[in-house]
Each structure stands twice: as structure tokens, then as C-alpha cells.
Amino acid sequence: MTLLELLILLTVVLGIVLVALPTLKPVQVDDMEAFAREKLRYIYEKERAYYLRNGTYDAFSVLASGENGGPYLDRRFTGEDHRDRGIIFTGPTGPTEDLLLEAKLPDGTRITLNDKGSFKTHKPEPKPEEPGHMLSPEQVLPELGGDAGDAPHPAGRPPSVEKPGDEAAPPPDETDEPPAE
């Protein structure tokens, strides 16, 4: 196999990868959402077991401790929130009658699970394009050629171009004598 054939093969493989990557991105997001829902369901079941025994929902750190018939959660849940695979899971910060668990995904999506066991997904609002971030025509189509001393065209317009056949008479030379009559 020659070097040229190898380069052609590499280009074809790279092209296939570039075409396939955008189609795989939604699958990855769906997998992350599915994982977050699974983990929320796990935490919900542990919070529910704690509630049935103690009459309130409580912080992850309380459920992870050996108090009140626990531990309901393992040692990974000792803080106010729990992080796993880039997802931040939050729950009650103290004893409460109402449960609201939340998972924040890296893309800004929030998934919540309430004390009735129902999920809600909150997608982030798309950010509007700010006018300051728009490219000017000069940035999109940079001026080609020309000397550094050339002055920019007024209002960004190029000079007018004469059509063939519309040739104007050249200006008179100062050294030329006026035409004789």
C-alpha cells in the first residue's frame, strides 16, 4: 500500500467519523438522562424508606449516617449533594414533609422527582444570539489584496467599475495647450 493510498483511506475514515459524530451525540444525552432518572429513583426509594420509618424526609448525609435505623445510603452521599458522571444530585437539606430530588446534567437540563414519584424534565432555554457576537461583513469577507496604504472604501462599498465601452475621456494634462479653434 502506497502512501497516497493510505492518505486516501485515512481521509475516507475521517469523513465517516465526522458524519457519524453528530448522530451519536443525542444518544449520549439520552443515556445520561436515563442514568440520572435511575439514580433519582434509587435515592427516592431510600428517602421513602427513611420517611416510612421516621415520618420525614431528610438530607443525604443523615440517610448515609447510621442514625435513625440507617444507613439508607452509602458513604458517597455524605455531603449536601452527590456528584456522579458529571451529574449533580440534590435533595432535602434537612427534615421535611415534602420531597423534591433534582439532577442537574452538564448541558443544563434539570430532572426533578417529587414525593409522589413523578419525574419532570426541564430543558434549558436556548440563549439568543447577542448582537455583539455577530460578525461584521469585514470579518466574514475580508478585503482581498491591495496595499497596506490603501484607504478603506467609504461605507464599505467597493469603487464603481466601468463597463467596457463606457470609457471616459482622460482628464486634460496641465501641460497640454488648449485646442485651437
Q: What is the pLDDT of residues 3-39, one digit of tens each?
A: 989 999 999 999 988 887 777 666 666 788 999 999 9
Query: What CA–CA distance (Å, rounded) separates 150 from 106?
Result: 49
74 vs 158, more confident? 74
pLDDT band at 48 (very low <50, low <70, confident <90, very high): very high
Whether residue 146 has pLDDT greater than 50: no
* Contact by Cβ (8 Å): 72, 50: yes
Residue 48: other Cβ atoms inside 10 A: 15
In a domain, 81, yes or no: yes
* Number of domains composing the chain: 1
Query: What CA–CA distance (Å, rounded) separates 100 from 96?
Result: 10
Whether residue 105 has pLDDT greater than 90: yes
In a domain, 103, yes or no: yes
122 vs 127, more confident? 122
Structural domain boundaries, residue 80: 33-122
Q: What is the pLDDT of residues 148-174, one digit of tens each?
A: 445 555 555 555 555 555 555 555 555
Query: What CA–CA distance (Å, rounded) separates 97 from 60?
Result: 15
Q: Which residues contact 34 (CB under 8 A, 6 or more apart)?
A: none
In a domain, 1, yes or no: no
In a domain, 108, yes or no: yes
In a domain, 97, yes or no: yes
In a domain, 17, yes or no: no
In a domain, 54, yes or no: yes
Question: Is the peptide bond prior to 71 cis by the omega test (within 30 degrees of 0)?
Answer: yes
Residue 50: other Cβ atoms inside 10 A: 22
In a domain, 136, yes or no: no
* Contact by Cβ (8 Å): 72, 46: yes
HSE toward the beta carbon, residue 17, CA cutoff 13 A: 6
Query: Which pTM was predicted?
Result: 0.56
Residue range 40-53: mean pLDDT, rounded: 93
